[in-house]
Structure 1
Amino acid sequence: MSIPAARQRFIQEIQSDSIDLGRAALWIAQEVYPDLDVEEYLAALDEMAAEVQERLPPERYPLRVIRILNHYLFEDLGFRGNSEDYYDPRNSFLNEVIDRRTGIPITLSLIYLELARRIDFPMAGVGMPGHFLVRPLFADAEIFVDPFHQGQILFPQDCQERLAQIYGLGIPLQDHHLRPTPPRLILVRLLNNLRQIYLSRAQLELALAAVERILLLIPESLPHLRDRGLLCYQLGRWQQARQDLRHYLKQAPFHPELSHPDERLIREILQRLEAYSD
């Protein structure tokens, strides 16, 4: 099976020592939008950043820069969180978010990060459970920005409250929840969103494409190896399914004296696959 051109470009991008998040996200989108002009959207981000740059004061105090970014993105351009149709897959594609001015926390954060990088304002993504934020990377700057909520500025206690709104009081905020998320894991999270959406819609080919790219980013991920094997099984790709599921059983840390539902299910599937050939 030939590898799509967008996938090949995605592979090249993630092999770089310094992943260009915007470019990589657009290569993800190009698999679904073959006519997407990646350079056109990167130029649009350049133009946005140039307009922000013109508004910056000589003294770049972090809160002033954040307020200018917020005003530009959310008031002048009208970007907003899509709470009405949160699970629309278009919310996960950077080109659609730029065109429609609406998205989910991770894609709105990605635009925020891309503009901040272009104006030399150090920021990082923060992958809290269930919600994505950005934060300035300055000493003693314990503040966070929520692009899904119009750039609302949060302190750690606010992040705890946001987490409680999503999950209730059962999940306490941990220090690692607020640490910067590396670009590679931001892309994993973006693709995981797409995987979940496509699985909920029974769009198995698209779900498989998302899992395949996750495994390019984190090849050691056993849960995603299992998912690829199960999706290949459902799609009739017996050889790949056998290979992935056998490897998963070999590598997964199952306890020899305990029964594990994953192990039972996959052994049953492998027994069925013995009767098939590609």
Structure 2
Amino acid sequence: MTSSAGRCSSASRRRPRRRPPRRGRRAGRSSSPRSSSARRSRRRGSTTPLAADPLGEFRDLLRRPDGEIDLGRAALAIARVEYPDLQGGPWLARLDDLAERSGAGALGGRRALDRLRAFLFEEEGFRGNGEEYYDPRNSFLNDVLARRLGIPITLSLVTMEVGRRVGLAIEGVGLPAHFVVTVSVAGSDVVVDPFGGGRVITRREAEAIVARAVGRPVKLAEAHFARATRSTIVARMLNNLKSIYAQRQEWRKALAVIDRLLVIEAGDTALLGERSAALVRLHQQMASRN
């Protein structure tokens, strides 16, 4: 099944040419964190109630003006495709806890950014899962927080959500076949590569990273470093997951992802065609098992 929502980014139109991953174990049911902060959150009764309609919950989150979309909550709503009983509160508390323990909030400017990078990628050990890049767990915020493993967009999302909690002006940037963040420091934008261990990178280094991902030389223009809207970030996460489920022939979950993409790209003819094709394949799959 081909990727749609091509307007979001060039990366969402085709899968990056990366080293094929080793087969990994299927995602476990990690629906609640074990951190002390999460347990305190549960005792305080701050867990997010389960929505009776997960798609409706997602629709409500994405219906807001773009700048008001809560990326953490939206990412957890995506994870409910895999974990229907997932409660968001403990995982949002985990982000709060990371921000508090980082100590970056007591600093400012570049010192705050450097402290956050050291905390997340050295002390906490968040890293890119290059060995099993297409493991769906890399796309679920709860799994990324629990396993400290992710892909560029989910590691960037963690960096953005923790960074905002400590007062950094941090935004996502959707490069072709890669995702990074930029932080405004003293009037300049600092580019950080969360998948690359939280390194600060130059524009030329970004070109080299993208070139390796797509398998050919790339020249990035200024427009490539524009801030990604929050709805675009969510769509890109969904497109990644859609491709993974299609490759694994998990058509019921692929349909759930497409339905969420249609919340963002309502009436998109390519998506509607993909939905019809996935539905046919699901019916064929069910018939073959009977």
TM-score (norm 1): 0.78
| Cα offset, 1:234, TM superposition | 2.7
Return the offset for 1:189.
Answer: 0.5
Partner of 1:8: 56
> 1:20 is matched with which residue?
70
- Aligned-partner Cα distance in 1 for 2:267–2:190: 33
Which whole-Å deviations, capped at 9, do the CAs of 1:135-161 have from their partners, x for residues lacking one? 013564243101011101111111111
Code of the aligned partner of 1:197: I
* Structure index of larger Rg: 1
- Residues 210, 231 of structure 1: alpha-carbon distance in 2 compared, 3 angstrom cutoff: same
Q: Give the Cα–Cα distance (whole angstroms) in 2 for the partners of residues 181 and 194 of structure 1.
A: 19
1:92-121 residue CA offsets vs partner (Å, 9 max, x unmatched)? 000000011111111110000001111121
Query: What aligned pairs does 1:180-199 form with structure 2 within 5 A after superposition?
Result: 180-199=227-246
Q: Which has the higher helix share?
A: 1
Aligned twin of 2:276:
229
Q: Deviation of residue 226 (structure 1)?
A: 2.1
Distance in 2 of aligned mates of 1:211 and 1:137 = 34
How high is the sequence identity, in percent, across the aligned residues?
38
**How large is the RMSD of aligned CA atoms in angstroms?**
1.9
| Pairing partner for 2:193 from 127, 139, 146 | 146
Contact preservation (8 Å) 2:231, 2:264: yes
| Paired residues of 1:7 and 1:28 also in contact (CA < 8 A) | no
Matches within 5 A, 1:214-253: 214-236=261-283
Which residue identity is paired with 1:28? I
CA distance in 1, matches of 2:248, 2:85: 24
Which 5+ residue runs of structure 1 have no aligned equivalent? Answer: 238-278
Structure 2 CA distance for partners of 1:87 and 1:172, relative to 1, 3 Å:
same
1:95 counterpart = 2:142: yes
* Residues 51-92 of structure 1 deviation map (CA, whole Å, 9 limit, x = unaligned): 22x34554x123x22211111111111111111111000000
- Separation in 2, partners of 1:72, 1:117: 15
Q: CA offset at residue 47 of structure 1?
A: 1.1
CA contact (8 A) 1:142 1:155 kept: no
The change in CA–CA distance for 1:137 and 1:225 in structure 2 (over 3 A counts) is farther
Q: Go from structure 1 to structure 2 and tell me whether the alpha carbon gap of 1:118 and 1:228 turns closer, same or farther (over 3 Å shift).
A: same
Q: Does residue 44 in structure 1 map to residue 94 in structure 2?
A: yes
Structure 1 residue 4: deviation in Å?
Answer: 5.9
> Is this contact kept in 1: 2:156–2:172, CA < 8 A?
yes
Using structure 2 for the length normalisation, give the TM-score: 0.75
1:31 is displaced (CA, Å) by 2.8
For 2:87 and 2:52, the matched residues in 1 are separated by: 15
C-alpha deviation, 1:168, in angstroms: 3.4
